[in-house]
Structure 1
């Protein structure tokens, strides 16, 4: 608990029931008869308190996206550099900066989004990808904020009941993806079905060790997905999606005909915002209606060819993006 200094109250005695009664010495309240108490009980210091200086900036100078808080520092006239900042309290028209800005530095307070757009176009650190920035060039970003990349994709056929179970797993995953995109929690049946199918397939000797590990990851994260809040369930959906995307580049059920689509959203908290869909209409499961169409199509995974045991294809990186900001920002 903090303390404040007021010269008129320092070292005084006050009535708990009638605070207008203030005395230099202990005694009784003349109104109610209660004992006077020291003002220090209510946070008043007897000595002046050293006040730490706080750095504040105009609130409109700070750009926010998920966990990212950034400002643009003027390094020389007309030239700006992205700076990650740690925010303190947000006031009506000011923002307290706990870390990231030094006293006296000049920051951009107007045209921030124009500067940010120019940074994006030139491939420099920007609001949607501040991880490119690091004062220590040897320091790696804390997380990945780019799509999972696959230079060469070889999809195996999984025959029989195991192949059918695998396609069922994909179907349950897609149903959950649509639920999250619709801002709905998933059912117990969906969570247990996904976990059960993944656990069963993880024991199948036809699958490689890497595939089995991915299935175990799905099973572990899906088991209690229905018990979580929508926000927490979406966090658990990330490792599930990473595993499912990787599986889709490695194995499909025999006779599968439908291509699958890998999407990525750079605005997802802590990065790594990949997911898989059964169609190319982007529906963001991590934000739902708040940013339903935020992201980009990264790759299309063609189904297994009926004329060969494996399909060898290249990842198709698309340049077209649909980016949006959360409603209300």
Structure 2
């Protein structure tokens, strides 16, 4: 029991001590590929009773699948996200945001990876708005890639400041920058 708590504390300290990094990186043609097995979806010790934990964990799992260019995994993991959003007991003030997030999460189950990425970007906006009102169980980073969708740009949320772009995957893995931090509350 002490080791997971110490790990969570060490991880929290590491994330907090790295704050303020907002460098833009457009080395998108770097073909370096992540294994797709990110640890971002792991909740912190303080998140166990937070009502947004399941939604955030499932969202980050879908993000990691898109980072890894895995359309099948993204579709599969979207089912857990839909279930988590449906199970989230929202106050009346966030019910509309919950509905928007749910509609976009449901679209992730089918279609090609380009359609999934478009739905994921719309989902990311709804999740950001929802978490700003409902609260987050961990610090999240709003990341932005200006090159997405013919240079109109797109955003997503990450539990790490490191850029792993789900909107392009391996074709432009590190394109983007941190635009905003959503604090744990």
For Structure 1 versus Structure 2, the TM-score category normalised by the shorter chain is 0.5 to 0.7
Q: Which runs of 4+ in 1 moved over 6 A?
A: none
Deviation at 1:299, TM superposition (A): 1.1
Deviation at 1:239, TM superposition (A): 1.1
1:72-97 Cα offsets, whole Å, 9 max, x none, are xxxxxxxxxxxxxxxxxxxxxxxxxx
- How many Å separate the matches in 2 of 1:169 and 1:287? 23
**8 Å CA contact retained: 2:66, 2:74:** no
| 2:123 equivalent to 1:245 | no
Deviation at 1:276, TM superposition (A): 0.3
Deviation at 1:208, TM superposition (A): 3.8
Aligned length: 137
Aligned match for 1:214, one of 91, 97, 102: 97
1:134-179 Cα offsets, whole Å, 9 max, x none, are xxxxxxxxxxxxxxxxxxxxxxxxx996x33x21101110111111
- How many Å separate the matches in 1 of 2:67 and 2:74? 15
Would the alpha carbon gap of residues 268 and 188 (structure 1) be closer, same or farther in structure 2, given more than 3 Å must change?
closer
- How many Å separate the matches in 1 of 2:166 and 2:75? 18
Would the alpha carbon gap of residues 160 and 284 (structure 1) be closer, same or farther in structure 2, given more than 3 Å must change?
closer
Q: Give the number of the structure whose alpha-carbon radius of gyration is greater.
A: 1
- How many Å separate the matches in 1 of 2:140 and 2:92? 21
Structure-2 residue corresponding to 1:178: 64
Structure-2 residue corresponding to 1:232: 115
Q: Flag structure 2 segments of 5+ consecutive residues without an equivalent.
A: 1-46
Q: Flag structure 1 segments of 5+ consecutive residues without an equivalent.
A: 1-158, 305-329
Would the alpha carbon gap of residues 280 and 207 (structure 1) be closer, same or farther in structure 2, given more than 3 Å must change?
same
- How many Å separate the matches in 2 of 1:244 and 1:172? 12
Aligned residue for 2:109, secondary structure, equals: helix
**Greater RCO between the two (CA within 8 Å, min separation 6)?**
2
Deviation at 1:188, TM superposition (A): 4.5
1:47-72 Cα offsets, whole Å, 9 max, x none, are xxxxxxxxxxxxxxxxxxxxxxxxxx
- How many Å separate the matches in 1 of 2:48 and 2:62? 25
With normalisation by structure 1, the TM-score equals 0.39
**8 Å CA contact retained: 2:147, 2:153:** no
**Would you tell me which structure has more helix in proportion to its own residues?**
2
Q: How is 1:276-287 mapped onto 2 (pairs within 5 angstroms)?
A: 276-287=157-168
**8 Å CA contact retained: 2:145, 2:177:** yes
Deviation at 1:187, TM superposition (A): 4.7
- How many Å separate the matches in 2 of 1:224 and 1:236? 6
Deviation at 1:193, TM superposition (A): 1.6
RMSD over aligned Cα atoms = 2.2
1:266-306 Cα offsets, whole Å, 9 max, x none, are 111163501100111111111011111111111112212xx
- How many Å separate the matches in 2 of 1:193 and 1:160? 17
**8 Å CA contact retained: 1:260, 1:277:** yes
Q: How is 1:153-192 mapped onto 2 (pairs within 5 angstroms)?
A: 163-164=50-51, 166-185=52-71, 186-192=73-79
Structure-2 residue corresponding to 1:117: none
Structure-1 residue corresponding to 2:180: 299
